[in-house]
Structure 1
């Protein structure tokens, strides 16, 4: 077990995943800005993604679509490093050289996701606040914040709202570990199908396409919970402190889902899905492409066997 956890292979996967995700997110960051505005600003009309970005640029300046880029990239780098590291070391420990299966990928993905959520949620809470700071909202009941940076945001949140506020949205985030778990299950399954038992390196087009398909399915299935997660991380929805945190989280999620459905109908749960799919599918596809190429290049330099590594 120790050899798998502290192996160079797990480290290479983690670094490759982190670098790939940071690069891909930087390229498609404005699309994520449009998605987040639609999720948290209830009075903003669900226009097309280009129209939303045009509104943001016109009202807030040319660089507004990239507001909060640095904290998001820091959070994403840490998050994907933790996820890829945990996913591959847990998978290696479980399989011990045996062929993988969809159920293995799903369970390993869920376990890696839980570890990732518990470790990195404070970073995502802070980056959500910074990303939305200075935005021009349509909803009058959204209160402006004034953070000078990442550390100041941490300090202010702890002082004003308590340490627990850094884990706002943790419960829906734990439910959302299904998103990367489903994504990796489909991605790894499609890789095995394309290889058909013959170890080979997939082409760039193949990796890009299966990465896009895997993320599109995972995002669509879990999108309503992602909306609730964004609202809770933004910290504008107040919950009761009398009941237990788990019970309060369940009631909060139910309340937010029901309220959104009453206001906007069933489609209200998927407000911003177009922007999210456009951003997340392209980002994931590019991320997987870069991840595979970086990992493959690194393993060649290390002199590790391609046939053995391609069984993963």
Structure 2
């Protein structure tokens, strides 16, 4: 009964909605930076330049709205993904801690568990939005095959028909490894929050939340970036996967081959191609997301407390 009340708790729902709204707003503001990052990761023949130069190039070749191509499917995926992640994270945290103060270790384990659930549920959405976001792009790599999807549902139908249902989970293995990214991010974020509140329980200022959100995401992104590149390549569907019966072995081999090939062709720095654009986008997005998340959750809880007090 206690576990059920934690899973279906009002607090978990507030955290989930606040996280989803915060992430959607932040991603919308910084979406062009993500476009630049994805283009650098997938189009191997595109030279790595500064983020403004890449965006200027895309606008010149493909039009003013090109940096926002694929915005709607990305926002849908992000909203679902963050709702599930925040909900699972706070449910698990409440049920495992049982009122005790969290530690970096419990935050990391909770983050990994929430990330695994999130990956298994939302990977098909991310595969589709990666395809839609890159559709119609001017690639430097002539080997990339053009696609023609009219929208989210059409992309689902075509992928299932032409590549099989399993293609919707392309990149799942690196995605499962990448649950370390939000887990590390939340571990650092929660740890820094505890440090700032040490001795004096208080609500953090907007600047403090923004800065610790930025630091947490910068560390998590830098550590896991090579795997994020491989994840993007696999989701794009242009890499010929092994036909082995074992999906785990096939996924391991694909990740290993892509990492080695990229390192061989471009050196170790090739594994970090697009990192500048990714850091700029992801750090600013995460910082703004955490700021909005904390403010929305705090405001909701205050309002609920106010109305509860009035009723009594």
- Say whether the fold is shared (TM-score over 0.5): yes
Cα distance per residue 1:60-112 (max 9 Å; x no partner): 00000000000000000000000000000000000111111100100000000
Alignment-derived partner of residue 53 in structure 2: 51
Gaps of 5+ in 1: 305-312
The aligned runs of 1:156-167 (5 Å cut-off) are 156-167=158-169
TM-score normalized by the length of structure 2: 0.97
Name the residue aligned to 2:206: 204
1:176 corresponds, among 168, 175, 178, to 178
Deviation at 1:150, TM superposition (A): 0.1
In 1, Cα distance between the equivalents of 2:173 and 2:188? 24
1:77 alignment counterpart = 79
The residue aligned with 2:197 is 195
CA distance in 2, matches of 1:202, 1:36: 34
Distance in 2, Cα, partners of 1:242 & 1:171: 15
Distance in structure 2 (CA, Å) of the matches to 1:285 and 1:242: 42
1:261 to 260, 263, 278: 263
Per the alignment, residue 309 of structure 1 pairs with none
Query: How do residues 90-129 of structure 1 correspond to structure 2 at under 5 angstroms?
Result: 90-129=92-131
Report the Cα offset of residue 282 of structure 1.
0.1
Counterpart residue number, 1:68: 70
Moved over 4 A (4+): none
Offset of residue 243 of structure 1? 3.6
C-alpha spacing 1:185/1:19, structure 2 compared with 1 (3 Å) = same
Alignment of 1:23 with 2:25, yes or no, is yes
Distance 2:262 2:186 in 1: 30
Structure 2 stretches lacking a partner, 5+ long: 307-312
Displacement of 1:117 after TM fit?
0.1
1:190, 1:217 → 2: CA distance? 13
What displacement does 1:199 show? 1.7
Alignment of 1:219-230 (within 5 A): 219-230=221-232
Confirm or deny: 8 A CA contact 2:192 2:212 kept in the other structure.
yes
For the residues of structure 2 that align with 1:151 and 1:71, how far apart are their CA atoms? 10
Q: Distance in 2 between matches of 1:242 and 1:268?
A: 28
Q: Distance in 2 between matches of 1:263 and 1:54?
A: 27
Give, in whole Å, the separation in 1 of the partners of 2:33 and 2:63: 16
User: 1:293 aligns to what SS in structure 2?
Assistant: helix
What is the CA distance between 1:239 and its match in structure 2? Answer: 1.1
- Give me the whole-angstrom Cα distance separating, in 1, the residues matched to 2:6 and 2:289: 24
> Hey, what does 1:214 align to over in structure 2?
216
- Residue 279 (1) aligns with residue 286 (2): no
Looking at structure 2, the residues matched to 5 and 76 of structure 1 have their Cα atoms a distance apart, in angstroms, of 22
Secondary structure at 2:220 match in 1: helix
- 3-state SS of the aligned residue for 1:303? helix
- For 2:15, the equivalent position in structure 1 comes to 13
| Distance in 2 separating the partners of 1:86 and 1:260 | 35
Could you list the per-position Cα deviations for residues 247-298 of structure 1 after superposition, in whole angstroms to 9, with x for gaps in the alignment? 0110000000000001100000000000000000000000000000000000
Rounded Cα–Cα distance in structure 1 between residues aligned with 2:300 and 2:64:
38
| Number of residue pairs matched by the alignment | 304
**Aligned equivalent of 1:133:** 135
How much has 1:242 moved relative to structure 2?
2.8
Is the aligned partner of 1:42 residue 2:44? Answer: yes
> In 2, Cα distance between the equivalents of 1:64 and 1:126?
18
Q: Aligned equivalents of 1:109 and 1:59: distance in 2? A: 41
Of the structure 1 ranges 195-204 and 78-87, higher mean CA displacement relative to structure 2 is found in 195-204
Distance in 1 between residues matched to 2:222 and 2:293, nearest whole Å = 23
